[in-house]
Amino acid sequence: MENNFDVVQLVHEKCSDLVTDYIFSLLDTSSLKNAETVSKLWYSIIRKFKIWSKKYENMNLKCSALSLLLQRRISEGFNTVDDKFLHKRLLTAYEKVQMNWDTRNHLKKIINVGHCTRFVMDSKRIIVIESTLSVTMWNRWTLEAEDLPVQSDNTPSELTHLELSNDLLFCSYRDGTIVARNLVKKMVVFQFTDESMSGCDLKIHVAHGLLVTFKTVVGQDWGGDQTMFSVRSLKTPSEIVTQELTNRIPCARVKEVTSDDNYFVVFVFCSNHCVVSPDDFKIELRSVTSFEILREICGIMSSDEIFSYSNGWLVAGLKCVYVRDIEECNRPHIVPTTFDNWDDEYETEVADIQLDDEHLIIRDTNGTFNIWRFGGKQSNTPKQEGMKLFSDTSITLPGEHLKRGYQKFKFDQLQIVSVHSEEDDDGRHDLLTIRNFF
């Protein structure tokens, strides 16, 4: 029933389209859906000014979940081009996703993947190394499986590392071979072998148009390890500069390499076999254009702590977990947990940590997921006293008991993906568990 006094109608009759547009732009998803039912005039105004579309575009700049929800609809075969209500559907779905996180409402799916040594994922797919010579790709939304022919053409060398960059899958092999395969065109776009990089621990990272490869050379009794690295430019997906830069990090072993919009971030364990101190673990912030060191950070975490990095935030710990702004690393924010009260008899502590712009997830050695709301994107530099970085309390999801072996998990705003081992009459095998929050 239409209201006797309708401020929207009055403004609309005065031809104040900008004001009318602004009023509706202030509404959240639920309020905007309710507004459509108030009157035919309100409904027509919302359609005329494309309020849903504008709201989607504004939120999509801040929230990656909307792009994931769109990708899911495309993968499931929905017509997104001619759907006049697409943006309303996606915003409504996102509202449901947030509610599901808060209420722990999710659907769990389990896949037997044989023996998993590593997995990677992006907005479309999950790729699992099932052995050193076998890789399977799963569609995240339909769970259709495809075996990938990722074996090096030169020799039956062991696969050591995977890296996803858009639709390119980069594979590194023990003999120093790097292969890039286009997953859409199902073809190899380039392949080369760097014999100086041969070794079982060859790691790769792709970002900002650079392909970085790392290999640790184990030192002798009188010396320390050192890490060799090469940096190559990716001009196009099929064009690569064969050799741009080769260098080394002396007395150091690279533990992890990641990146964000501002830096390559290299986590380095300094090993000289003589001195062990908190300063033995350092973080290098490197240029996204040249990979040169811009800054080194030492003494803010120990080498035995579990850690993760995302968009300028470092989270680390074993029992006491803290979050630091990487630009202001002297100001830690303690995560409000009871981890420091865990019973030492069972040696329960952090098994893995991951965070993104909305959630911080800590998995303990019992397999339990502890989830906090995280406001890192809204509080880029939380200098104000009392500013909230994460929620005071967490929600918990029971998980699978962890055994020795691969314990990493990955997540985004729609799914938590993890691997655990089980043993039955057929022997030991690994299970890929997908928790859906959409």
Model pLDDT for residues 139-186, shown as the tens digit of each residue: 999 999 999 887 655 555 788 889 998 899 998 888 888 888 999 998
pLDDT at 98 over 70: yes
Q: Which two tokens mark 73?
A: 């609809």
Query: Using CB atoms within 10 A of its CB, is residue 422 exposed (0-12), middle (13-18) or buried (19+)?
Result: middle
CATH tag, 149-300: 2.130.10.10
DSSP string, 264-308: EEEEEEE--SS---GGGEEEEEE-TTT--EEEEEESSS-TTSEEE
Q: In the β-sheet with 281-286, what is the strand arrangement from edge to edge?
A: 252-259, 264-270, 281-286, 293-298
Q: Residues 198-207: pLDDT tens digits?
A: 666 778 899 9
DSSP string, 342-368: S-GGGT--EEEEEE-SSEEEEEETTS-
Determine which of 72-81, 131-140, 398-407 has the lowest per-residue pLDDT on average.
398-407
For 7-103, CATH number out of 3.20.20.30, 2.60.98.20, 1.10.645.10, 1.20.1280.50 equals 1.20.1280.50
Q: If pLDDT is split at 50, 70 and 90, which confidence band does 320 have?
A: confident
Q: If pLDDT is split at 50, 70 and 90, which confidence band does 349 have?
A: confident
Q: Which two tokens mark 242?
A: 């064969």
Return the closest-CA partner of residue 329 out of 295, 355, 370, 361: 295
Long-range contacts of 311-317 (CB under 8 A, 24+ apart): 311/260, 311/261, 311/356, 311/357, 311/376, 311/377, 312/260, 312/262, 312/376, 312/380, 313/355, 313/376, 314/283, 315/353, 315/355, 315/360, 316/353, 317/350, 317/353
Query: Where are the domains positioned within the chain?
Result: 7-103, 149-300
Other C-beta atoms within 10 Å of 253: how many? Answer: 21
CA distance 304 to 255: 11
> 87 or 132: which carries more pLDDT confidence?
87
Contacts of 378 (CB under 8 A, 6+ apart): none
Q: What are phi and psi of 22, to 5 degrees?
A: -65, -40
Q: Residues 392-430: pLDDT tens digits?
A: 788 999 988 776 555 689 999 999 999 888 888 888 888
Return the closest-CA partner of residue 379 out of 361, 360, 393, 394: 360
> 293 or 202: which carries more pLDDT confidence?
293
Q: If pLDDT is split at 50, 70 and 90, which confidence band does 307 have?
A: very high
Expressed in angstroms, the distance from the first to the final Cα of the chain is: 34
CA distance 80 to 32: 21
